[in-house]
Amino acid sequence: MSNARRFLFPPLNWPFLLLITFIFVLVFLLFSSAVLMAFGRLGLPPGVAVTLFAFALIGSFINIPIAEEVIYEPVISVREVGFFGILYPIPYFDWEERKTIIAVNVGGALVPLSIVLYELFRLIYLGNYNLLANTLLAVFIASLLSNAVARPIRGLGIAMPSLFPPLVAVLLGWLLGDGNPTLVAYVSGTLGVLIGADLMNWGKIKHLGAPMVSIGGAGTFDGIFLAGIIAVLLV
């Protein structure tokens, strides 16, 4: 029996578990370093960057409901009809109410959105209206392009090529950066996904067949969060 167990479960030993733990810690350190580096390139102080990253990690587990969508879908039901003591199943069409709760993830949506608002208000405070106009133009273009490639998938959510938004944001940062391509890339990458993929497909969310859809629900690994981070690192 002991030989059979060693054969059936060879990975479950201390060296393997230590290796998995080491890989997990290494990946986390690399990921956190990349995020903090991106925040630093945006001009955020180190303490603020670390705090925002901690909020993003913790907020990944928090979804705030903001709306509820209700639709009625045709379904096939079965009822039994008795005839001379014998029950016969009779199918018939009926309507079923489906509710979809739309929520916002704190770590995957609200944290990057707060950074975007900080950067935009800083441009207004500094009076840099040319860069502000270019940034808003970049957001408009990124939103249209993101919406063009985003596809609602029933039971899954809104899907789109993962590298498309950051690459578009990098290009827009180079073209419209006006001396600060990093800011334009981050804002357009983040809002491009949020507006183009999620908000512009709001009417289709209720048809996804899911009891709850969370905007930014993948947390720090969501497209809204990663699009801006990857764009900043690539600029």
Tens-digit pLDDT profile for residues 152-204: 887 777 888 889 999 999 999 999 988 899 999 999 999 999 999 989 988 88
How many CB atoms are located within 10 Å of the residue 21 CB?
A: 10
Residue burial 204-225, b: 16+ Cβ < 10 Å; e: rest: ebbebebeebbbbbbbbebbbb
What gap in Å lies between CA 170 and CA 57, rounded to an integer? 25
Q: What are phi and psi of 119, to 5 degrees?
A: -65, -40
Mean pLDDT, the chain, rounded, equals 85
Tens-digit pLDDT profile for residues 112-132: 999 999 999 999 999 999 999
Query: What are the residue boundaries of the structural domains of the chain, listed by start?
Result: 2-69+99-234
Q: Where is average pLDDT lowest: 25-34, 135-144, 184-193, 201-210?
A: 201-210
Start-end of H helices in 42-81: 46-59
pLDDT score, position 86: 75
Tell me if 96 sits within 8 A of 72, measured CB to CB. yes
pLDDT greater than 80 at residue 75: no
pLDDT greater than 60 at residue 9: no
Amino acid at 160: M
pLDDT score, position 120: 95
